[in-house]
Amino acid sequence: MASTDEIALDIPNFMRVYKDGRIERLTGTDVVPPSLDPTTGVSSKDIDIIPELGVSVRLYLPKLTATSTKLPVLVYYHGGGFVIESPFSPTYHNYLNSLVAEANVIAVSVHYRRAPEHFLPAAYDDSWAALQWTVSHADGGPEAWLRDHGDFTRVFVAGDSAGGNIVHDMVMRAGSCELGHGVKIYGAILIHPFFWGEEAIGNEMKNPAAKGIIDAIWKYVCPSTVGLDDPLINPISGMAPSLSRLGCGRVIVCVAEKDSLKDRGWVYYHTLASSGWEGTVEILETEGEDHVFHMFNPGSEKAVEMLKRLAAFLNR
């Protein structure tokens, strides 16, 4: 019989999986409560939307200048490889406070089920359910912040890393089925999206160790996958539907020069631009930075520049 301490999968500084099924999340486990942020004036609160599944959201409302103010609605999906982090971590709570204040939007930060307790596609299904819950407030709904202040002609979805992957799934779903309540997704923000593939491309060929780690993460979080060219992780593979079906009108893809995922972001951008899709797509590459640098060093000059660029996208 295997010892309970035998390791099946070890991703340094990320997670450790034991052969008896236990998992250690090595980062992204801290949480902070909702608050009135003294620096930005942004208020937040937590709401259970599917209690039986543990799906919830953290809502953010900027400081209002008038009670009748209508604001864009941003649904945000956190990163963490579908395994770690949550909307309640200090990293994401602080980032959403800053983004909401800078862009003057209402934000809905989604707590979806994570692996290994719930393997994919649970996170995608939860994310879609949270998006539907959000847009249901176009016709009223239980949550006053959304009901009274949301402009549902300007609904955006955004996310980083695994959350950027989720954003792609959301806009593809929106292209083939109705969100409901007459609401359409206006725009999408994919920040350093977690896209991958069987064959290495670009700088991936220079770092086979990193490719092996990313390969392993995907196969772990999605045991039902058809492989690394599964459309869920490789949206431009031969198995994937055309990006021309994307269900929104505007997209921005953010990549970072030193990020192992950078080349996939560029391929996604070029493929979308040439797909026949009728929307507009732009790309932002940050030189000299690595994966989700803006989360780890939010006060840096380049992180602030990126924040302002995204705020402008949300208000254009």
Give me the residue spans of the domains in the chain. 1-30, 35-315
Q: Are 97 and 39 in contact (CB under 8 A)?
A: yes
Give the other-Cβ count within 10 Å of 199's Cβ: 10
CA distance 287 to 305: 12
> Which of 78, 111, 168, 291 does the annotation list as catalytic?
291
Enumerate residues 6+ apart whose C-beta is below 8 A from 227. 198
**Residue 259 known to be catalytic:** yes
Strands 280-286, 248-256: pairing is parallel
Q: What is the model's pLDDT at position 13?
A: 86
Task: Look at strands 150-160 and 43-50 and give their pairing.
Answer: unpaired
Cβ atoms of 306 and 286 closer than 8 Å = yes
181 to 140, 147, 275, 279: CA distances (angstroms): 10, 13, 28, 22
Answer yes or no: are the C-beta atoms of 145 and 63 closer than 8 Å: no
pTM, two decimal places:
0.96
Structure tokens at 127: 């994310």
Q: Which of 214, 137, 126, 138 is nearest to 170 (CA)?
A: 126
Sites in the chain below the pLDDT cut of 50: 1-2
Dig out the tokens for 99 from the structure.
């983004």
161 is catalytic: yes
* Three-class secondary structure of residue 105 per DSSP: coil
| Whether the Cβ atoms of residue 87 and residue 109 lie closer than 8 Å to each other | yes
Pick the catalytic residue from 44, 259, 260, 263. 259
Note if 291 is an active site residue.
Answer: yes
Angle at 81 between CA 175 and CA 93, to 5 degrees: 85
pLDDT at 135: 98
- 64-95 in b/e form (b: 16+ CB < 10 A) is eeeeeeebbbbbbbbbbbbbbbbbbbebbbbb
Contact 284, 291 (CB under 8 A): no
Instruction: Tell me how far apart the terminal alpha carbons of the chain are, to the nearest angstrom.
Output: 61
Show the 3-state SS of 28-67.
Answer: CCCCCCCCECCCCCCEEEEEEEEHHHCEEEEEEECCCCCC
% of residues, the chain, pLDDT over 90: 90
> Which residue of the set 44, 109, 136, 161 is catalytic?
161
Residue 71, amino acid:
L
Any residues with CB less than 8 A from the CB of 274 and at least 6 apart, and which?
none
Are 254 and 287 contacting, i.e. CB atoms less than 8 angstroms apart? no
pLDDT at 3: 53
Fold category of 35-315 in CATH: Rossmann fold (3.40.50)
Q: Which residues of 170-192 are buried (b: 16+ CB within 10 A; e: fewer)?
A: bbbbbbeeebeeebebbbbbbbb
